Chains A and B, each alone.
Chain A
Amino acid sequence: MKRFVLFAAVLQGLTFAGTAAAQGAAAPQAAPGYAAYPCLSYSLPCGKLATRKPEKKDLVGPLNGNAAKGKQIAQARNRGNCLACHVMPGGSQPGSRGPDLSHFSSTGRSAAEAYAMVWDMRTVNPETLMPPFGTNEILTDQELRDVVAFLLSSK
């Protein structure tokens, strides 16, 4: 039974794993708190939190990113999970809402441009669906550099 449950969970492709809610009530897990971000509550403090404003962030110094690490971060459901929306080199079950990034290097975008976009795509497109990975602290500065190195290595 347990194996079946686990298998089914994998099959279902939990979009953003690592959360108790995503596992369903049957498999409780310590829930990471997201109370630092806006929620829908009428009474909890997160219900009164503001959306973090779009942040234009410049890449400081040389990129110094590790493409192999970036690839892992992009694939991990509990990290970047870029694959939820993008086709990228490697990885399984890519999403289809965002543009195909598997040949990103051929778009001619610079490291600084890519970095700023992944930091906060809202500075480019205020209506974007893409999460603001830097502004909302989903990824650290170094993780962003690794992801950008991975993007630039995608031919």
Chain B
Amino acid sequence: MFERKRTILLSALVLGLAAGCAVLGDGTYRERYPDAQIDPFKGVEGDVGFSDTIQYWRDEAALQRHAGLADKPAEVWKLNWKHMDLDRIDLHPGHLAVDEGQALVKKLAARNPAFLTCLGEGSADLKGKAAAYPKFDEALGRIVTVEARIEHCAKSVLKEDLSQGKPPNTRISVYFKSLSAGMPIKVDLSDENVMEAYRRGEELFYRKTGQLNFACASCHVPGSIMGHKLRGETPTTPFGDAAHYPTYRTPVGALESIQERFARCHGQMRTQGLKPGDPAYADLEVFVTVLSNGYPVSVPSAR
């Protein structure tokens, strides 16, 4: 009996592999987009040999050199929309969000200074701290994003609900991250808990879901829809994306956290979206933020 079960499992595995699918531990048949083989230790430079578009958006000099692509509808996607970061100095509502976030932190810290030291993990100085997120928090025993830290500190210190995905949380996040603007993102892959989250996030990235049977990878890896017109849009490389979140979305006039962006892509995929802060979204955020390692935090931004 046991023998038989094993051969069935084995042949299911072989079949699954043959069809480009994987069989999950729970025995559920789940299709996957073929793995793109990303080396997490290369950080944002992993885009070399991936979409190879990083040559156009690696830094301001590259962006200036290739600014002409912005006028070519078929090629503008290669800029990964980073040309929109060039207006960093201009006044856009993302800057207002920084001011609002700062005012909010000041107000909450006036109620209890421990709020600020909770955000700064023991220090009231937040400068440069956001660049190391997401991280594994030993005391909480889980992966913590900037937005999760804000929610946690508000709840534990002030008994205040600043849920992830709600405007006050996102405003504080924009302020918090703006204090690391220009500093390279450095998610700590030497922490095995972070590495495990990266692997989980990677697994989720390739898993097909929803009514349309798409994985994130169906639109965001070479050979997929990436770089192709999908009616009005063109999906781009996932490298470098995490750097400019939360971003101010000019078309709808609102801030958007990266996990809200995941949910928006899930809407397009006709897949049940998850709430900001969901453990699966936290793992996905670790995955995509590692793909921004080495790239400067670019908050505030507008898209």
Contacts and interface: CB of A to CB of B under 8 A. Distances in A.
B260 A25 contact: yes
B173 to A, nearest CB: 14
Given A37-B211, A50-B30, A21 B268 contact: yes
A51 B21 contact: yes
A1 interface: yes
Interface residues of B, number: 52
A34 B274 contact: no
Given A47-B280, A51-B213, 5 more contacts: A21-B263, A24-B252, A85-B228, A95-B231, A97-B229
B250 interface: yes
B165 A48 contact: no
A11 B165 CA distance: 25
Of residues B204, B229, B272, which shows the largest number of chain A Cβ atoms within 10 Å of its Cβ?
Answer: B272
A90 interface: no
Contact of A34 (B20, B26, B165, B210): B210
A41 B263 CA distance: 12
A135 B279 CA distance: 30
Interface in B247-272: 249-254, 256, 260, 263-264, 266-272
A130 B269 CA distance: 12
B29 interface: yes
A44 interface: yes
Nearest to A47: B280
B233 interface: yes
Contacts of B228: 85, 95-97
A31 B278 CA distance: 18
Given A38-B210, A48-B28, A26 B272 contact: no
B180 interface: no
Contacts of B244: none
B208 A38 contact: yes
A9 B267 contact: no
B262 to A, nearest CB: 9
Nearest to A9: B251
Interface string A4-22: 0100110111111001111
A16 B209 contact: no
A137 interface: yes
A40 interface: yes
B292 interface: no
Of residues A8, A47, A77, A97, which shows the largest number of chain B Cβ atoms within 10 Å of its Cβ?
Answer: A97
Tell me whether chain A's interface is mostly helix, strand or loop, or mixed. loop
Nearest to A131: B212
B253 A16 contact: no
B252 A26 contact: yes
Contacts of B208: 38, 51
Interface string B217-251: 01000001100111111000000000000000111
B30 to A, nearest CB: 5
Contacts of A68: none
6 contacts: A16-B268, A39-B209, A51-B21, A97-B229, A126-B20, A131-B212
Given A51-B21, A51-B31, A34 B272 contact: yes
B225 A48 contact: no
A4 B212 CA distance: 30
A131 B225 CA distance: 13
Nearest to A91: B231
A115 B123 CA distance: 64
Contact of B256 (A24, A50, A97): A24
A24 B251 CA distance: 9
Nearest to A121: B213
B289 to A, nearest CB: 17
B211 A131 contact: yes
A127 B20 contact: yes
Given A37-B271, A41-B272, A129 B218 contact: yes
Given A21-B264, A42-B280, A15 B230 contact: yes
B231 A93 contact: yes
A22 B264 contact: yes
A16 B272 contact: no
Interface string A67-83: 00000000001000101
Of residues B207, B225, B278, which shows the largest number of chain A Cβ atoms within 10 Å of its Cβ?
Answer: B225
